[in-house]
Structure 1
Amino acid sequence: MVCQEDVPTSEPVECVKVAINPEHPEQTVMIGGNQSIEGKKAICEVLKANLDVFAWKLADMTGVLRTLAEHKLRIKENTAPVRQKKRGQAPERSKFIVEEVQKLVEAGIMREVTYQSWRSNLVLVKKHDGEWRMCVDFTGLNKACPKDCYPLPEIDWKV
């Protein structure tokens, strides 16, 4: 497996696939190949010591209680809800979408809404390894939100 570092180089850096959980050898992480052997061992030890912070499947992802944090979108006044027309999908993509949505519903990340006022299409994007990633097309919602007049500062300004 080859991974690219943030800094462009002439040659890609080889990554090492490591199984850190002995109970689930199929669950792996990638460690950059430019690490020394001692560095790789140290990274693996830190990861093994903190296995409980990783979400290996959707059901492992626990939500933040609404009493602790809740996010609300600011929508421009007098903006009508955007309802995108449903896009058709090829049968194999449609099957993948149904399976992914079912996983999200079972994990409690999504729930069914009968009378939605906003509607955005799902978009499948091919990953570099050939698998699909399910995304949502929020272009209509983004247009309805006011732009920030103050961008986030450059990180070097903060440091």
Structure 2
Amino acid sequence: MVGAYLQHIAKEVNFLVVDCSSSYNAIIGRPTLKNWKAVTSTYHLSVKFPTEYRVGQVQGDQLAARVCYLAMLAIDEHIQMMNIKERRTIAEPTEVLEDVPLDEGDHEKFTKIGTSMEEETKQDIIQFLRKSIDVFAWSHEDMSGNDPNVITHCLNVYPSSKPIRQKKRVFAHKRDKAIKEEVQKLITTEFIREVYYPDWLANMVIVKKANDK
């Protein structure tokens, strides 16, 4: 039950119990907030939701919230200093995988399947994968012609907001070359298009992939 008497809602929620130190009793996720039809305000530490008797509200305490925040930072300062590479975890396969070529004329086009299945099932899966080779992509060129109605990335910003210009960064020759190559691939396949602004806005951000490229 959430809220005060009359202006409250009663819902069943499944919680994931985690064995770790925390200053919080519970963390409410987006599915639950959506189910409550709740509107949150981090600035005001407030959650409002519709009830049968007008609008219900749960109000947080600014002092308690700050104490919890500082306590979380003090649990392990080392975690706060970990970089992206240190935090990256690669899941190990649960069985030995076998390379399966999908195009007999191009050995670069292959995928991996498990070896623990029965031979008949294995052959059925291989035949299905080869028939569905058009859904695989090994390069940017293999993904040309994507319909924007399927997926499009947009920046959710207010048109009236003034852009904040970052200080222009100069990259090393190796990184500058990598940026130009990747941008050219995206332009060639029409994933992105060139636009012109009167002012410099933001720098490129480079992140290493799991294969160290």
TM over 0.5: yes
Question: Counterparts of 1:117 and 1:37 in 2: how far apart (Å)?
Answer: 61
Q: Which residue is 2:92 aligned to?
A: 4
Question: Counterparts of 2:119 and 2:200 in 1: how far apart (Å)?
Answer: 52
Deviations 1:14-73 (A, max 9, x none): 32222211122112212244444444322221110111222332122122156x876654
Q: Which residue is 1:64 aligned to?
A: 147
Inter-CA distance 70–4: structure 2 relative to 1 (3 Å threshold): closer
Greater CA radius of gyration, 1 or 2? Answer: 2
The answer to whether the aligner puts 1:48 opposite 2:130 as a matched pair is: yes
Question: Counterparts of 1:71 and 1:97 in 2: how far apart (Å)?
Answer: 19
TM-score (norm 2): 0.46
The answer to whether the aligner puts 1:107 opposite 2:193 as a matched pair is: no
TM-score (norm 1): 0.59
Q: Which residue is 1:86 aligned to?
A: 168
Inter-CA distance 64–77: structure 2 relative to 1 (3 Å threshold): closer
Question: Counterparts of 1:30 and 1:3 in 2: how far apart (Å)?
Answer: 15
Q: Which residue is 2:203 aligned to?
A: 121
Question: Counterparts of 2:211 and 2:112 in 1: how far apart (Å)?
Answer: 14
Question: Counterparts of 1:110 and 1:77 in 2: how far apart (Å)?
Answer: 20
Question: Counterparts of 1:102 and 1:78 in 2: how far apart (Å)?
Answer: 31
Give the total of aligned pairs: 123
Structure 1 segment 33-44 matched on structure 2, within 5 A: 33-44=115-126
Asked if the contact 1:58–1:103 (Cα under 8 Å) also holds between the matched residues in 2, the reply is yes
Asked if the contact 2:168–2:200 (Cα under 8 Å) also holds between the matched residues in 1, the reply is no
Asked if the contact 1:3–1:15 (Cα under 8 Å) also holds between the matched residues in 2, the reply is no
Amino acid at match of 1:63: N
Unaligned runs of 5+ residues in structure 2 are: 1-89
Q: Which residue is 1:139 aligned to?
A: none
Bigger RCO (CA 8 Å, 6+ sep): 1
Amino acid at match of 1:15: L
Give the aligned CA root-mean-square deviation in angstroms. Answer: 3.2
Post-superposition offset of 1:78? 4.9
**What percentage of residue pairs aligned between the two structures are identical?**
35
Question: Counterparts of 1:70 and 1:46 in 2: how far apart (Å)?
Answer: 29
